[in-house]
Amino acid sequence: MMGENSLQERFSPKLEGMDRFLSDAGSGMLFPIIPLFAAAALGAPAILIGLAESIPAFFSQLPRLLPEEISRDRKLRASAIALCAIARPLTAQCSSFPEFISLRSADSAAEKSAFPNGQLQTGKTPFGAQLQNHGGTILGALLAILLLFFLGSQASAADSYRTIILLSAVPAALVLIPFLLTKEKYYSKNAKENAPALPQSISAPLAISSAFLLSKAGILLFLLAASASLPPVLVVLSYLIFLASKAAFPLPSRLLCNALGQKKAFILGCMLFSMAALSFSLPLDAQLSIALFAFLGFSSTLLDSAYNEDDLPLAGKYPILSGALLIGANLIAGLLWGEHFAQMHAPFLFSCALSLASVFAFSIYADEKRH
């Protein structure tokens, strides 16, 4: 035990935050490949590809229900990291969608269990909080692009995707090294400590929150739509641009929130998202499609900066219900999509219309609340 503590004290200043960085890198390699792999290797339609994002996202929220003394247990968290590393090779060998969604759900829940309280407070280390936010995921997406370039001429599309998913297990396994060699100082506050009991009736804010979340088709469906006009490398590049946009705009978004006020900035963010969704319902060329992902990243960052849990509590304070509604959003989008891109415009028109409706309802509610 003393030897373990001395190793942790020696390596903690150098490796602090590296575990989360590597975990994000593995996820960044895997995530943009999911719609391409599901369509090419499993023959999954849009409705299942949407669920491939929202169902694992829902299961990733379940570790929040664990008691704090269990969620902080380092042996349990090390086991969760190992499970992620094991799930990736199995995912690469999937031959059916139920098998794929089961492994993805286990992977997502294990990754959340490994880092139960979000990002660790890392101070001013080389791998500080800002780099942890996006750096690992951006690196992972960049590695996926390079692998697609390298594998494109040597293997079929499905085999290339399987190889990238398999290789995403490498950073997932390497997470164990810095995790075991670092000693965490303290945790960010667990979101469930702030979550109040559900209200007895569905109030206007909860209803507006529900409409707002149901309008949000997952990013995988946007990537799937881009794949209709872009080669696989540019689809993953679009995801990389989306991440880079989210990394670049937090400060401008906060400045805009301060200038407009949170409510107006939130409404603006919803309207920008609606414009992006509407654009995806129209015929797109490659350049415009890629540019729209930068626009999506900015609108997402603005919404994150402007979001106020007191006005729209559901999306922030009840993550399990939020996850269930996001499953509903992707289910609706997939049903509207149809088969073989037959009605690809329909889910984005629905997303645009419902987002605008939630903005209109929120504006009325905010005015009534003010008076």
The reply to whether 50 and 152 lie within a common domain is yes
Mean pLDDT of 149-174: 89
What confidence tens digit (pLDDT) does each residue in 120-153 have? Answer: 444 444 334 445 567 889 999 999 999 998 887 6
| pLDDT value for 107 | 93
The reply to whether 223 and 354 lie within a common domain is yes
| pLDDT value for 209 | 65
The reply to whether 229 and 298 lie within a common domain is yes
| pLDDT value for 127 | 39
Contact 138, 245 (CB under 8 A): no
The reply to whether 92 and 237 lie within a common domain is no
Residue 190: inside a domain: no
Question: How many domains does the structure of the chain reveal?
Answer: 2
| pLDDT value for 367 | 66
How does DSSP assign 169-219, residue by residue? HHHHHHTHHHHHH------PPPGGGTPPPPPSS--HHHHHHHHHHHT---H
Percent over 90 (pLDDT), the chain: 22
Residue 336: inside a domain: yes
What confidence tens digit (pLDDT) does each residue in 88-101 have? Answer: 999 999 999 999 99
What confidence tens digit (pLDDT) does each residue in 324-341 have? Answer: 778 888 888 888 887 655
| pLDDT value for 202 | 46
Q: Assign residue 244 the CATH number of its domain.
A: 1.20.1250.20
Mean pLDDT of 27-39: 93
The parent domain of residue 29 ranges over 2-181
Mean pLDDT of 278-293: 84
Phi, psi of 217, rounded to the nearest 5 degrees: -65, 145
Residue 188: inside a domain: no
Residue 189: inside a domain: no
The reply to whether 123 and 207 lie within a common domain is no
What confidence tens digit (pLDDT) does each residue in 55-87 have? Answer: 888 888 888 777 877 777 888 889 999 999 999
The reply to whether 226 and 361 lie within a common domain is yes
Q: How far apart are CA 182 and CA 82, in angstroms?
A: 17
Residue 210: inside a domain: yes
The reply to whether 217 and 337 lie within a common domain is yes
Mean pLDDT of 151-173: 89
Q: How far apart are CA 306 and CA 271, in angstroms?
A: 13
The reply to whether 208 and 105 lie within a common domain is no
Mean pLDDT of 201-225: 70
